[in-house]
Amino acid sequence: MTAKRTGFMVMTLVLLVATAGCDNGAADDPAAALAQRGRVVFETNCTACHSRTPSQPGPVGPAVAGASLELLAAKVVRNEYPPGYEPKRNTNSMPPLVHLEKELPAVHAYLQRAP
Ligand code: HEC
């Protein structure tokens, strides 16, 4: 693992810990808490290219609101698409973000309810 990647992961963790204590009304709702965590992961790792409003196209990446877990796992981890899936763009310029595999259920939860 490169030092750069390690630093990036530490930064992500710090952000996750920093936001975990926020009063976001999700304490009694595990699904909301998962989505809240997913929002942090998404805004930290994806919004350089995708819009902060996931239903809108971003500067580089297309809209991703409502993305299935299958699509997220294929695209984010393996830079592929599920069988038969018609990509919104075929620029093939998104790098795989393998280290985020564990966070995909949270990102998925966020993208299901995101604006
Ligand atoms: C460096 C820019 C960049 C980053 C960072 C990035 N993406 Fe992407 N993403 C793209 C681009 C560009 C596409 C269009 C296909 C391509 O070029 O690979 C895309 C496509 C996708 C798609 C497929 C959309 C569709 O329906 O065709 C999903 C899902 C996706 N990204 C999710 C994510 C998630 C989640 C993250 C953060 C964990 C992320 N992306 C980070 C640039 C990025």
Looking at residues 85-91, what average pLDDT do you find?
A: 96
Q: Is 65 within 8 Å of 111 (Cβ atoms)?
A: yes
Cα(50) to ligand 1 centroid in Å equals 7
Residue 103 clears pLDDT 70, i.e. is over it: yes
Per-residue CA distances from 34 to 29, 45, 60, 105 (Å): 9, 16, 26, 8
Nearest CA to ligand 1 atom 16: 92
**Range in 21-35, 42-56, 81-95 with the lowest mean pLDDT:** 21-35
Atom of ligand 1 nearest to the CA of 93: 17
What are the residue boundaries of the structural domains of the chain, listed by start? 3-113
Rounded to whole angstroms, how far apart are CA atoms 47 and 40? 10
Residue 19 clears pLDDT 80, i.e. is over it: no
- Which protein residues touch ligand 1 with a CB less than 6 Å away? 45-46, 48-50, 60-62, 64, 67, 71-72, 75-76, 87-89, 91-95, 97, 100, 107
Cα(28) to ligand 1 centroid in Å equals 32
- What are 84's two structure tokens? 């038969």
Give pLDDT, residue 28: 85
Rounded to whole angstroms, how far apart are CA atoms 7 and 53? 27
Q: What angle do CA 16, 112, 11 make, to 5 degrees?
A: 15
Nearest CA to ligand 1 atom 39: 46
Please state the pTM of the whole predicted model.
0.83
